[in-house]
Structure 1
Amino acid sequence: MSANEGAPVPQEEDGPGLLIHAAGPLEPDTLAGIPRSTANARAALKPGAAIEVVVQGPGVRLLASDSPASEAITHVRQLDVEILACANSLRSAGLEAEDLTTGIDTVPAAVAHLAERQWQGWAYVRP
């Protein structure tokens, strides 16, 4: 488990941010579209706006350190985007937090995290 699992992810002091939800059986090409979306959002939103990508379901396998999507993940992280994996989905996929690409944190349940962020006023996008 990551050091942040179970702990609330810090929220930007300037207010709510953008939450991108990637769910289901993702293909590497699908995950590759997320960096384009995050890069476009980063360029258009105010500087320092918080952006999170939450991955839920079988697609968490693409977050593993040996994934063909590692380069895309690294690119997203360089844009100051937080990538979070659902711990429930990791367990279902037979993975642990230690199997993830460096810099990816976990949330106990993606659905609860999504609800909390929406209650905090975050914008929700599903690519």
Structure 2
Amino acid sequence: MLKLVRTFFLTLASLLLVTATSPALAADASMADYKYVLHISDMDPSKQDLILNNARNLLDAYPPGDVDVEIVAYGPGLRLLFADNVNAKRVESLAMSGVRFSACGNTLKGMTQQLGYAPKLNPAAKVVPGGIVRIGELVKQGYIYVRP
């Protein structure tokens, strides 16, 4: 009987470990043939436009489902993902088309300390612990790294 209970709990623990993936890793199981991570660390509006144009061009270049695109914003580039950014509607539109937006938690923490309040992010943005770490995770999973 003790052996049966032990086997049950070991099986249950194994299932929990397999199904309890972090949100950051959930998107990493992409079935797309082409995977790109785009990086923005600059608050220059022309670079923000460029990164969004690159994402749109990638979506347009491949049949639906064949491409996976994630934009990672950190440092001054995090401003692209502020709710009041001039590109907020474009960010939301790209998100509706499947582009993921990762906001660096380290940068957000620093900006919050500097400003005295947490900046409001675009609802399309998902906070990740670190922008550079996120880029590294994606590159390790075979994503093509693009820094316009």
- TM interval, short-chain normalised: 0.7 to 0.9
1:4-59 CA deviation, whole Å, 9 max, x = no partner?
A: x8742412134561111111x31233212222111111111342121100001112
Distance in 1 separating the partners of 2:72 and 2:98: 14
Which of residues 110, 119, 134 is equivalent to 1:92? 110
List runs of 5+ in structure 2 lacking aligned partners. Answer: 1-21
Q: What percent of counterpart residues are identical?
A: 26
Determine helix, strand or coil for the equivalent of 1:106.
Answer: strand
**Which stretch shifts more, 64-73 or 109-118?**
64-73
1:51-108 CA deviation, whole Å, 9 max, x = no partner?
A: 1000011121231112222123223223310011111111122264x71111210110
Which structure shows the bigger proportion of residues in helix conformation? Answer: 2
Which of residues 112, 116, 122 is equivalent to 2:133? 112
Using a 3 Å threshold, how does the CA distance of structure 1 residues 60 and 54 change in structure 2: closer, same or farther? Answer: same
Q: Scaled by the length of structure 1, what TM-score is found?
A: 0.81
Greater than 3 Å deviation, 4+ residue runs: none
Using a 3 Å threshold, how does the CA distance of structure 1 residues 101 and 121 change in structure 2: closer, same or farther? Answer: same
Backbone CA RMSD of aligned residues:
2.2
Q: Scaled by the length of structure 2, what TM-score is found?
A: 0.71
Which of residues 79, 95, 101 is equivalent to 1:77? 95
